[in-house]
Chains A and B, each alone.
Chain A
Amino acid sequence: MTLDWSILWQFRQALWSGLLTTLWISAIGIIGSTLIGVTVGCLGSLPSLLLRRLTGSYVELLRNLPMIVKLFFLYFVAGLPAIAAALLALSLHQSAYIADVTRAGIRSIARGQVDAALSLGHGWPQVFRYVLLPQVLRVVMPPMTTQYVAVVKNSAVVALIAVQDLTFETQQINVETFRGFEAATAATVLYILVALAVIGTMTWLQPRAVRR
């Protein structure tokens, strides 16, 4: 077996643009899923049976369907443009997990904190804003990191609807040169580097988010 790593240099442009696409799609996916997930998680933590059931169903439904099913539904059946389908599928998919992380984080805060805040006359929005979320932030940073790495990993699936991300470009190299091994190795290394960057960023943010 002979390997030809020069293929990577030859296709550096494609790999680079694929990496950039993966990065920005993941970034928007992270922001989108956090916004939706934290909102759903907070709503599910309110003392309302109806909200608990609604958010619980949302989480249960989304968690039991593969990301690729959502993606293909949005793209092939609902007819969204590829990029829109990719971003929406990514955000919706991970939002279910982030909602669960948020809910678990809120549940880990002692009930007395809510009692105290309510007894002082704070409404629920203020209870979340000033009392719960700052404390939840300390506990959820590590599980959130896992979720954000998962967004990056799940973003690879968008290659299957021809969004030209890192995985897609890897496929292209394989199709053009039959050098799938080299291309896949390079892409794997790049994905691991992105994951490390996400973990590094979150580790860097952790003390800054907690101190205030």
Chain B
Amino acid sequence: MSGERAQSVIWWGGVALLAVFAAERVAHLEWAAVAPSWWFLLTALGRSWLLAVIAIGVGICAAFPLALLRVYGPPGVRHAAVGVIEAVRATPELMIIFWVYFTWPYLAGNQVTAWNAALGSLSVIAAAYLAEVIRAGLYSVPAGQIEAAHSSGLSSYQSFRFVVLPQALRNMLPALIAQLVALFKTTSLVYAIGVMDFFCAVNVTKNAVFAPYALYLVLGAGYFISCFAITRVVRWFDPQYQLVE
């Protein structure tokens, strides 16, 4: 369509113009003040990643049994699983972080470091949200698939492992990406209990040197690139996506 081509030209022209304009503005930001902190900021971004990766790892390990209990568990257990998952999902993430931080001393009798509290709360959040993603994925496989698997002689475990699970994993991919990105963004909230994550580090630097725009550009870029990378990396594992692209 000729209209499409014209619009495409306008779009890329606009993008180029904006890029030139932005580059000029960005070049004049207070980089000299920020430059000495680059290693500090980079390690802090690494710390945010570490938080996210560990929380996702723990979260997935906890989410699978939770989701299976919610879908296949006996009635009492099922309701308990629903209760836990939904309660966590209805509570603000910041509240959960505070909650773990304050509750730990009562449960364990000793103080908890902010880092461990951050890890614990992020893992709880990851577990609840990922359990929901997995449940939706399991439900997305039509019942006829299990019937077909059973009728071809596969055991219950085999039908789950070889028929239901592969389809469920595929179907849950978009929601999984959304949750992983959401989780990475949530790591920014551990700032509230004093963990030196990327968000915290940028704000600490901002209080030390006067370079708000440069620092917030770094902040935004750090999160945007990280989240974008998560989206791309997860999609890269999807064979169907590779075919489409």
The distance in angstroms between the C-alpha atoms of A64 and B232, with both chains bound, is 12
The residues in A between 12 and 52 inclusive whose CB is less than 8 angstroms from any CB of B are 48-50
B199:A68 contact, CB within 8 angstroms: yes
The distance in angstroms between the C-alpha atoms of A156 and B116, with both chains bound, is 22
Contact among B4, B10, B99, B199 for A69, CB-based, below 8 A? B199
Residue A210 interfacial (CB < 8 Å): no
Instruction: Tell me the total A-B contact number using a CB cutoff of 8 A.
Output: 109
Contacts of B181 in A (CB 8 A): 63-64
Number of residues of chain A lying within 8 A (CB) of chain B: 42
Which of B34-42, B146-154, B216-224 contacts the other chain? B216-224
A181:B103 contact, CB within 8 angstroms: yes
User: What sequence of 0s and 1s flags, for each residue 165-182 of chain B, a beta carbon within 8 Å of any chain A beta carbon?
Assistant: 000000000000000010
Q: What is the chain B residue whose CB lies nearest that of A187? A: B95
B199:A66 contact, CB within 8 angstroms: yes
Contact among A149, A159, A185 for B90, CB-based, below 8 A? A149
Contact among B8, B92, B224 for A153, CB-based, below 8 A? B92
| Interface SS of A by simple majority | helix
Q: Contacts A184-B98, A184-B102, A187-B95 given; indicate if A69 touches B11 (C-beta within 8 A).
A: no
Taking the nearest CB of chain B, how far is it from the CB of A66, in angstroms?
A: 4
The residues in B between 19 and 75 inclusive whose CB is less than 8 angstroms from any CB of A are none
The distance in angstroms between the C-alpha atoms of A154 and B186, with both chains bound, is 10
Contacts of A170 in B (CB 8 A): 95, 98
B95:A69 contact, CB within 8 angstroms: no
Taking the nearest CB of chain B, how far is it from the CB of A173, in angstroms?
A: 11
Taking the nearest CB of chain B, how far is it from the CB of A185, in angstroms?
A: 8
Q: Contacts A1-B106, A63-B181, A174-B102 given; indicate if A69 touches B91 (C-beta within 8 A).
A: no
Q: What is the chain B residue whose CB lies nearest that of A157? A: B94
B188:A68 contact, CB within 8 angstroms: yes
Contact among B3, B11, B91, B192 for A191, CB-based, below 8 A? B91
Taking the nearest CB of chain A, how far is it from the CB of B194, in angstroms?
A: 12
User: Interface extent on B, as a size class?
Assistant: 35 or more
The distance in angstroms between the C-alpha atoms of A148 and B95, with both chains bound, is 17
Residue B156 interfacial (CB < 8 Å): no
Residue B213 interfacial (CB < 8 Å): yes
B95:A191 contact, CB within 8 angstroms: yes
B10:A65 contact, CB within 8 angstroms: no
B223:A66 contact, CB within 8 angstroms: yes
The distance in angstroms between the C-alpha atoms of A53 and B4, with both chains bound, is 12
B212:A77 contact, CB within 8 angstroms: yes
Residue B239 interfacial (CB < 8 Å): no
B99:A188 contact, CB within 8 angstroms: yes
User: What sequence of 0s and 1s flags, for each residue 220-239 of chain B, a beta carbon within 8 Å of any chain A beta carbon?
Assistant: 10011001100000000000
The distance in angstroms between the C-alpha atoms of A187 and B98, with both chains bound, is 11
Contacts of A171 in B (CB 8 A): 98
Residue A162 interfacial (CB < 8 Å): no
B188:A167 contact, CB within 8 angstroms: no
The distance in angstroms between the C-alpha atoms of A99 and B33, with both chains bound, is 38
Residue A128 interfacial (CB < 8 Å): no
Q: Contacts A49-B8, A170-B98, A181-B102 given; indicate if A191 touches B203 (C-beta within 8 A).
A: no
The distance in angstroms between the C-alpha atoms of A154 and B94, with both chains bound, is 8
B102:A50 contact, CB within 8 angstroms: no
Contacts of B90 in A (CB 8 A): 149, 153, 191-192, 195-196
Given A64-B224, A65-B223, list of 6 further CB < 8 A pairs?
A: A61-B224, A67-B185, A69-B199, A72-B216, A188-B87, A191-B95
- Seen from chain B, the residues whose Cβ lies within 8 Å of a Cβ on chain A are 3-4, 7-8, 10-11, 87, 90-96, 98-99, 101-103, 106, 109, 181, 185-186, 188-189, 191-192, 199, 203, 206, 212-213, 216, 219-220, 223-224, 227-228
Can you list 5 residue pairs at the A/B interface with Cβ under 8 Å? A3-B106, A72-B216, A153-B90, A184-B102, A188-B87
